[in-house]
Structure 1
Amino acid sequence: MFLLLVLELTDDSNKKKPVVVIVIVSISIVSGMFIVGWIIWFDLVTVAAATNNFSYASKIGEGGFGPVYKGVLETGQEVAVKRLSKSSGQGLEEFKNEVILIAKLQHRNLVRLLGCCIQGEERMLIYEYMPNKSLDYFIFDQTRSTLLPWHKRFDIIMGIARGLLYLHQDSRLRIIHRDLKTSNILLDREMNSKISDFGIARIFGGDQSEARTKRVIGTYGYMSPEYAIDGKFSVKSDVFSFGTLVLEIVNGKKNRGFNHADHDHNLLGHAWLQWKEDKVLELVDAAMEDSYVVSQVMKCIQVGLLCVQKYPEDRPIMSSVVVMLSNESVTLPQPKQPGFFTERSSRDTDLLSRKEKGCTENPVTITVCTMIINFVEEWQRTLTLVSSHSGGR
């Protein structure tokens, strides 16, 4: 079945332009799925059966969006199901944002979004299942961190770098993730890293290189100074987050909440002090013992410090980062002082991600996405009516 939607959308110049959206709908009774264009729309019965009716035993996590469950489809495929909590203040916009990006992003170092479920008040996202959970599950745990020797940590760093390079440069649209952190780096069976959670990501179009928001969202400890203070974000704010990740992977401690007997700096400040005193190898996580390659570790620390420099114009772009990390003959520049290089009170605690209700996404993209979602809801209501009438005959 085909449905042709002709929409009149208004661009920034207030001129109405016709946009044709062709939505292809097919119904599979066997699989219990709706396929709408590039999106697989799972029905509630299928998802409930896969997760044992969203049982506590199937629950594998919880975030601002809502609970996450492990599910097994009738085909035997394992999936992760993010179910929008009815009490969530941030989930609906994030849900729409991930649906917008579903057709845009395909890369081995990005978690694949398989589809979604919209039925009644339910809003769910279905992902490929990552059996080894997230990066923070390993590197910040004294016991599990020993399962990540240096060669694997270096592979994880390279995977994140390549995924971020794809988002910034190689995908059809420039994507700014805005919430890159250890808990959003998932690990597959072979411990390969995959970037996840695009709920607050932004799409940059054309020659756009920077944007500003009045409501800053993300996770403190990974935010760049210009974003946390002025609401400015760009590829360079993602680069800052990446640099923080690199230093955390090397050190095995969180940036925010980092403690040291000699000072009250965070991990970035501590790394900078060690760099200036030529003691960078003291940053290496003791859990790695003698498993690391000195030249690789020192290069990663230097790249990490280059990425977290205070001013965005000093930070490298991700294409340069990938070259610096993968090419041993490249000469690296000397890093400058990192952002937030000030001693803070030891009473500071982590602040959780906050939802930005105001959205400055591309209005055409959001409108098209909303129209598709509304169409699916209407189509499901029609199917229900047809089914009820057929059953009454």
Structure 2
Amino acid sequence: MLLWSAQTVYFALLSQAYVKESLSSMTLRVIFTLLLLVCFCESDDRLTPAKPLLPGDKLVSNNGIFALGFFSLDPENSTAANSYVGIWYHDIPERTYVWVANRDNPIGSGLSGELVLTNTSDLVLSDSEGHILWRTTNNVTSGGDGAMALLLEAGNFVVQLQNFTQIWQSYDHPTDTILPSFKLWANYKTHTAVRLVAWKGPLDPSPGKFLLSRDPGTGLQILTLRGTSKYWRSGLWNGAQASDKNGYMWSQNVDDGETIYSTYNTGNSSARRSHWKLDYNGDLMLRIWTGRSWVPLFKRPDDGCRHYGSCGPFGYCDMFDKISGECKCLDGFRPADGFSANPSRGCVRKENLTCRGDHFLTLPEMKVPDKFVYVRNRSFEECTAECERDCSCTAYAYTNLSSIVATGGPSRCLIWTGELVDSEKAGMLGGNLYIRLAGSPEHSSAVNTTKSGVSVVFKIALPVITFLLTLTCIYLVCICKQKGYK
């Protein structure tokens, strides 16, 4: 309507120019330019109770990066396919969806839909038969005048009151994608967490079998679940800010004494078209748009041994040894199935613990195991003593967070009892793991040296013996043949 009005005024002025030559053509061009600026400044990024969203309509964020509207995943036959309301990248040719409102209840084939903002400041999506397919439950009964739904420049769809208070946002109800500035949070007091749920398939946005969230019990690690089973686990935050030379990073985590969250930010302006995505096959990927396609810069789990517990109890994944990684035994342990070169079935102790005569060995740069007990506000000495006096304690780890935690505990003491599962050599993002071994350090070193010597002798002797036996067999065969000829 505003564009039509601008054009009408322009042509009216243009007609007057032929009648009144005193109005210069330069003046007309200036007026027309100003009118067009007014037109294009009229925002198309919002819904109001008087302005619903209909098929064919779309909201576009002010920076032009994101759009929200109706879509079908069968563009060649959209009238016969289910349709959805969602958010996608508006300024790239490959349609890429980052949020879907009605993933559980699509608009049926042959039906149209309507998204409205009600007078109670709720978003309601219904089909042409009047069925409500999706809605929010804000229920604002007062102060809702002037409310609007906005598509922000970060790709967050929010409901905002006239006083700029946000009462709902799509970031609290994500689909399978994490955008820059999104907070991946967990409240370890209420044991709740925001979560991603993967699509069921490449053309099916309904909830799939993979789920990602922070551990709601502690908030210290990120978990991918396949159904109810753990599929992948991140390392524990050690206070470091993970980043790379390209400027794609997770910012420092924040612990406010109740909630831990991390935000993914970019220091590179070219990274604005980037996101983390939980794919339908369970892969968590950091992807960037190169101008032609999406390129994954990071993927977990990869093709190596990073799947949850893939190296078994007391084993760890060493990604620094081979491209695909290799399962190894923690120091003081051996493969459970004998002399396996890749102990994926786990490891067992070389010597049983005796409790009071045991010692602790430091393993640096480790992604510490899962299934820990989190003990807050302990010094390193207190954390060590906590494990030493408990004969069932098999390992402990300690991190000082006093310089980076907002109001939470300044230290983190982790205790393990029983098996150590899902460890990894993690480099600078890892930390020290102190594992309990039998005997004194000197005794353990002597035992390891002896057993190592025996192992070396065995490895050398075995091929020699095999070679000699082969020669003997050849010799005997030759003798038998000669006797046969005679």
TM-score (normalizing by structure 2): 0.24
The structure with the largest alpha-carbon Rg is 2
Which one has a larger percent helix, Structure 1 or Structure 2? 1
Q: Which structure is higher in RCO with an 8 Å CA cutoff and minimum separation 6? A: 1
| Structure showing the higher strand proportion among its residues | 2
